[in-house]
Structure 1
Amino acid sequence: MTEHGDEARVDPAGVREVPQGVHTRAFHRLMVAWTVSLVGDGVRVVALPLFTAVSTRDPLAVSAVAVAEVLPWLLVALPAGALVDRWRPRTVVLVAHVGRGLLTLGFAAALFTGHATVPVLVAVAFVLTSAETFADSASQLLLVALAGPADLDAANSRFISVETAGVDLAGPLAASALFAWEPAACFAVDGLSFLVAALFVASLPDVAPHREPSGGARLRTQIAEGAQFLLRHRGLRVLVLVVVSAAVAASAVNAITALYAVEVLAIPAPLVPTLMVAMAVGTIAVASVVPALVRRFGEGPLMITALVVLAAGFGLLGLVPHPAVGWAGYLVIGVGAGAWNVLSATRRQRLTPGSMMGRVSSTYRVLTWGLMPIGAGMAGPVAVMSSLGTVFLLAAGVVGVAALLAARPLLRTGTVAPAEKV
């Protein structure tokens, strides 16, 4: 691991080496870029649906914007991942940030002048997420290249902490204040955040993409190769099955959280968001100690423990409908989810060859996001036929069974991609 004096070196063959480690200046710049852009994302995640609801009062418009925000993960993510594997990741992230920054600033101007119609809202939501599918896959490559194999746990720990703090805490709080003053200011801040992040990305080392012998293969063929590698690799396949199970359970819980908080826990409506704050606090707290826990207990056992903790959080909420237990339960959920997110991201990155990182990451995300509506759709009927608490208990059961079935594979699967052992 390279420490603070980390200028890139040139080896005897003339190849420029990229300094690696979470203590390098390059990784610090990447984290600053992530932090700034994620706070902007947190502002927009709150402001866009809120502005749509306030300005239109139309459920169809709100639904259309919500669909436009997630649709690119189903339509664009797979080709985006394949293209990212062909291109230089720094350039991809830089172009995505600049493009999103200019688009969002333009949207802020349209909103301020009264030209933000529903078609404009839908188009902006779709394009911003489409660009995010490229930036997300390319950022995975930058993280792996700049952190290095030895520091992946620490790198993902920092990323999960920053993501949670930006998207779930700082961004929403800033959005609340800005929206009360001037809704357009929310999107102006978001646009500026992308441009500031782009400045830091531009200063990163120009990491070269992994070239494959089949560099001239058709895009469709390369997309299929990424999906096949993900589903045929035992270790990655286990991760996918667990992540899908947890995502379906979480989406079911998320769908009825507000109603459960108001109707069952008797929490006043203005305080309902504090449940999400409790969950974010749990995630940030555990993410910072995951690397030390891995060194002491091992990655596999800790992954299983994280799933058990997540299931326990769901179960606690379903069994003990009390406000204090509500906040405690979401704190426990945050701990379990945060630890699992750090560990599963690290395991996936280590098991994926660099030449397929973009495609595997995008396929992984498509499967997760694509199946989440199943959980949300089942939550309502289950609550009607039984109770809101039953949804939490079923979520606990799904995650618990997934932990039981995946325990042995999680302990036995390797940690380095076979083609790229170092």
Structure 2
Amino acid sequence: MVGLGGPEVGIRTPAFRFLLGAWTVSSVGDGVRAAALPLFTAVSTRDPLAVSAVAVATVLPWLLIALPAGAMVDRWRSRNTLISAHVFRCAVTLLLAGLVHTGDAGVPVLLGCAFLLSTAETFADSAGQTLLVSSAGPTDLERANGRFVSTETAGVEIAGPLGAAALFAWHPALCFAATALALGIAASLVAAVPRRTERAPQRGTGSLRAEVLDGVRFLVRNPPLRAVVGVVGLTALLTSGVNAVAFLYAIESLGLPAASVPTLLVCTAIGTLSAVPAASALSQRLGNGAVMVGALLVLAIGMALLGAFDAPAAAWGAYFVMGLGAGAWNVLSAANRQRLTPRPMMGRVTSAHRVLAWGLMPLGAGIAGPIAETSSLRTVILGASVLTAAIALAATPRLLRLNRA
């Protein structure tokens, strides 16, 4: 499709294909790194405090850096920002690979690399979202996000961890070298995206702080957008609580062998991949809002299945169902968030959305432990199921208005 006097847009254009290719390759690299970094920390230090510290360093930039990063991305050209972020992450992981190989990757190095990689990722995420909207165009957002969610799920949750397992057994440094290679290839693919695909950014006239606040205010004052992002934050709170206790529940209550527990995540990934094409097709027939409400209810049903049955097979089925609900929701919520956000604010709103989702995850995980201690693991899971269903029903009027918005 060609806009009047503008560049060609849509999921069938070379620009989108190059961007999707970059997203695919970088997702595999991120999956390798996400599995290898905590594993290497655990193996090399045997220290729970070190493992916890690296985990915090990985998440911290999403709370401290993401909002100003989004404002800066709105000031810069998204294509150049994404290339720079990939190149920077490539250099850091290549350095980390060398230090791991020489035995010099101590805890300070691991902390620094984890923080720097996630900091660069906050820029890459906002720039990638902005470039996705520019290359896909407004009419193809559901299908474009479907392809992005599919490739990210396959890369981060399946191909990346499997690749990390094979490379780590050979030599841990190879995991980080492979990540660096993937990010370098991703940068080259983004460089192949035509410059004319993106619009020139609007230079900020105020301070960075003022622009960040403008983005947050726009999100809060826009009822449909506030509904989408608010549901994301609340469901992130609940699902992180479930995730915090689910593995222990699977081992102690369901009798699942510890070595089989990671297969639950594979079931989630398969469910997500299955939901993506169905979500886009159903939204065409029923409307985005109705399908999004249905996706939340499916997620709640998956949690209920996990907590209600004691058979290991039920756990695999429950995780597949949760993947269906989460996958459909992620595709449509991203498309609607992008559609409701003015292009000059895309980076800021995307970052505010990430901060809300990531910021509430530690809170959910922290609450789940004491609740399980005073009641039971099952109570946490079933309670999250009931609350997710309640959120879906409470948000239904707002979400159904998305079709008109």
Normalised to the residue count of structure 1, the TM-score between the two structures is 0.94
Give 1:328's aligned residue: 317
Give 2:170's aligned residue: 181
Give 2:222's aligned residue: 233
Is 1:314 aligned to 2:308, yes or no? no
Q: Deviations over 1:310-363 (max 9, x none)?
A: 000001111112111100000000000000000100110000000100000001
Look up the equivalent residue of 1:241 and give its one-letter code: G
Q: Which of the numbers 10, 17, 40 marks the counterpart of 1:28?
A: 17
C-alpha deviation, 1:208, in angstroms: 4.2
The 1:67–1:319 alpha-carbon spacing in structure 2 relative to 1, beyond 3 Å, is same
Aligned counterparts of 1:204 and 1:239: Cα–Cα separation in 2: 30
C-alpha deviation, 1:155, in angstroms: 0.3
SS in 2 for 1:410: helix
C-alpha deviation, 1:398, in angstroms: 1.6
State which drifts further: 377-386 or 113-122.
377-386
| Matched-pair contact (CA < 8 Å) for 1:40–1:171 | yes
Is 1:196 aligned to 2:194, yes or no? no
SS in 1 for 2:75: coil
Give 1:341's aligned residue: 330
Is 1:297 aligned to 2:286, yes or no? yes
Give 1:145's aligned residue: 134
Counting helix residues as a fraction of each chain, which structure ranks higher?
2
Unaligned ranges ≥5, structure 2 = none
C-alpha deviation, 1:137, in angstroms: 0.2
Unaligned ranges ≥5, structure 1 = 3-8, 12-16, 417-422
Q: Which of the numbers 377, 383, 387 marks the counterpart of 2:376?
A: 387
C-alpha deviation, 1:400, in angstroms: 0.7
Aligned counterparts of 1:316 and 1:237: Cα–Cα separation in 2: 30
Give 2:100's aligned residue: 111
Look up the equivalent residue of 2:309 and give its one-letter code: V
The 1:208–1:32 alpha-carbon spacing in structure 2 relative to 1, beyond 3 Å, is closer
C-alpha deviation, 1:118, in angstroms: 0.5
Look up the equivalent residue of 2:135 and give its one-letter code: L
Look up the equivalent residue of 2:284 and give its one-letter code: R
RMSD of aligned residue pairs (Cα, Å): 1.3
SS in 1 for 2:206: coil
Give 1:277's aligned residue: 266
Aligned counterparts of 1:197 and 1:415: Cα–Cα separation in 2: 37
Is 1:221 aligned to 2:210, yes or no? yes
Aligned counterparts of 2:349 and 2:251: Cα–Cα separation in 1: 40
SS in 1 for 2:321: helix
Give 2:27's aligned residue: 38
C-alpha deviation, 1:61, in angstroms: 0.8
Look up the equivalent residue of 1:269 and give its one-letter code: A
C-alpha deviation, 1:53, in angstroms: 0.5
Is 1:245 aligned to 2:265, yes or no? no
State which drifts further: 61-70 or 236-245.
236-245
Q: Which of the numbers 349, 352, 365 marks the counterpart of 1:376?
A: 365
| Matched-pair contact (CA < 8 Å) for 1:283–1:337 | yes
Aligned counterparts of 2:269 and 2:249: Cα–Cα separation in 1: 19
Give 1:5's aligned residue: none
Aligned counterparts of 1:321 and 1:389: Cα–Cα separation in 2: 10
State which drifts further: 62-71 or 201-210.
201-210
Look up the equivalent residue of 2:54 and give its one-letter code: V
State which drifts further: 178-187 or 405-414.
405-414
Give 1:420's aligned residue: none
Give 2:355's aligned residue: 366
SS in 2 for 1:289: helix
Give 1:97's aligned residue: 86
Aligned counterparts of 1:80 and 1:380: Cα–Cα separation in 2: 33
C-alpha deviation, 1:216, in angstroms: 1.5
Look up the equivalent residue of 2:263 and give its one-letter code: T
| Matched-pair contact (CA < 8 Å) for 1:235–1:414 | no
Give 1:263's aligned residue: 252
Q: Which residues of 2 match residues 27-106 of structure 1 at below 5 A?
A: 27-106=16-95
Give 2:146's aligned residue: 157
| Matched-pair contact (CA < 8 Å) for 2:77–2:201 | no
| Matched-pair contact (CA < 8 Å) for 2:77–2:200 | no
| Matched-pair contact (CA < 8 Å) for 1:310–1:335 | yes
Aligned counterparts of 1:211 and 1:24: Cα–Cα separation in 2: 22
Aligned counterparts of 1:115 and 1:211: Cα–Cα separation in 2: 42
Aligned counterparts of 1:288 and 1:188: Cα–Cα separation in 2: 33
Aligned counterparts of 1:315 and 1:10: Cα–Cα separation in 2: 50
| Matched-pair contact (CA < 8 Å) for 1:254–1:376 | yes
C-alpha deviation, 1:273, in angstroms: 0.4
